[in-house]
Amino acid sequence: MDVNPSIFKAYDIRGIYPTDLNEDAAYLIGRAFASFLGVEKVIVGRDMRISSPAIFEAVTRGLMDQGADVINIGMVSTDQYYFACATLGEAGMMVTASHNPKEYSGFKMVRQMPYLLSGDEGIQDLRHLVESEAFATTTRKGTMTELDFQAQFIEKMLSLIDVDLLKDRKLKVIADTGNGMVGPSLQALYERLPIEFAGMYLDPDGNLPNHGLDPLQPENRAELQARVVTEGFDIGFLFDGDGDRFFAVDDRGAFISGDFLTAIMGQYLLEKYPAAKILYDVRASWAVPDLISAKGGTPLMERVGHAFIKQRMAAEDAVFAGEVTGHYYFKDFFYADSGLLPSLFLMEMLAKRGIKMSDLLQELEAKYFISGEINSKVADVKGTLEKLATQYPDATIERMDGVSVSYPTWHFNVRGSNTEPLIRLNLESVASPEEMAEKRDEVLGLIRS
């Protein structure tokens, strides 16, 4: 059958249901996955989307027809799915479209933790198999069993912090899971903690009756930000639709950038693991390497994307990694990203230090002036990137991921989108907010001219 090749992305498979990704395509993807990896068992979970039960049924039928036994872990967050894959040591398929709108469906696929299939390694092989239907010959039919990992997952999370520290400071915490997949595990976890907790939209609901699944969009976090201020919470937490990304709001109601969270959590984890290695992505503020180095750690820059981050973490034996977009990875969690775990570390840190989140942030805000990520549509992504590289001949130029341009007091990274004709700009000045604004507008003018 004809399957839209555009659903095979850089980090996952994703498309609109049922036009781009339907049951027939899911069935073939299941067969291709089992055939390509040659695995006997596959862990399969799903999110709360309206299409997920049908896509789950189709992909598991494909897996079983290709001779693989399916371990059905039910409706779970992606970090709980990673936990199941790591605990059993098996390959996995998670039926989810992450933070995308409700009409999307897709798959996040584990080869063996911490290695996921990516566009460079595995996903395009699946596409070729789906298109050719040249699956390996099999003589057996797989079976399905059901396993529930939530209790084990909660215990693992609790084992990674000192819960007794939270007793010394009764933190007032609010969390918005946006009717995504984090609500059930978050409730089970937080009821074990000595905190004062309020939850928003904790019930998984694929209709998304309250707001969208991506907290990077201001409209999806506005209500939580307002409640933090009006009700006097110490901190607010937000999670994306499938729970592998995490975001926070400080006691002023201010949204905290992923750069600053990476720097703050990295410094804190260096108290637990002195002189450790910590990864950050090419878009990040200089606050990250500055704070990591000041604490005696080794900061390492890496390309954007979980496939690159996880492999580099494992190779370097790094204890932590953070991406600007809210992915946080932990050696103690199989080098995987989790939404719940950074929320626990932040609460532990605030309780242990007895300070406000805003106090930590104001020090950074006074020195590091960041633009945030700004997208621009362009006709020729590659040509525009090359033009930018030549516009700054006296700068330090790096090409680890896109083009990074650095001067003594300011720098920027520009990258092409993996899925759209977009260029993404992240720029920072350590001189002044005025220099940041001036250089931001200068670079945007070059991109858009």
Bridge partner list, 329: 321, 337
Round to whole Å and give the CA distance between 333 and 189: 16
Catalytic residue status for 105: no
Structure tokens at 65: 């027809």
| 306-339 residues labelled b (16+ CB within 10 A) or e (exposed) | bbbbbbbbeebebbbbbbbbbbbbbbebbbbbbb
Query: What b/e readout covers 107-141, taking b as 16+ CB neighbours within 10 angstroms?
Result: bbbbbebbbbbbbeebbebbbebbeeeebeeeeee
- 434: number of Cβ within 10 Å: 10
User: Which residues, in sequence order, are CB contacts of 410 under 8 Å at separation 6+?
Assistant: 427, 428, 429, 430, 431, 435, 436, 439
Instruction: Give residue 37's identity as a one-letter amino acid code.
Output: L
| Pure H helices in 273-394 | 287-294, 306-316, 340-353, 357-365, 381-391
Distances (CA, A) of 73 to 142, 291, 449: 16, 40, 50
Instruction: Write the DSSP assignment of 109-162 as a string of letters.
Output: EEEETTEE-BTTTBHHHHHHHHHHT-PPP------EEE---HHHHHHHHHHTS-
Q: Which of 51, 52, 98, 343 is catalytic?
A: 98
Whether the Cβ atoms of residue 282 and residue 321 lie closer than 8 Å to each other: no
**Degrees, nearest 5: CA angle 229-230-235:** 35
Q: How many CA atoms lie within 13 A of 160 on its CB side?
A: 24
Q: Are 45 and 75 in contact (CB under 8 A)?
A: yes
- Point out the residues that are catalytic: 98
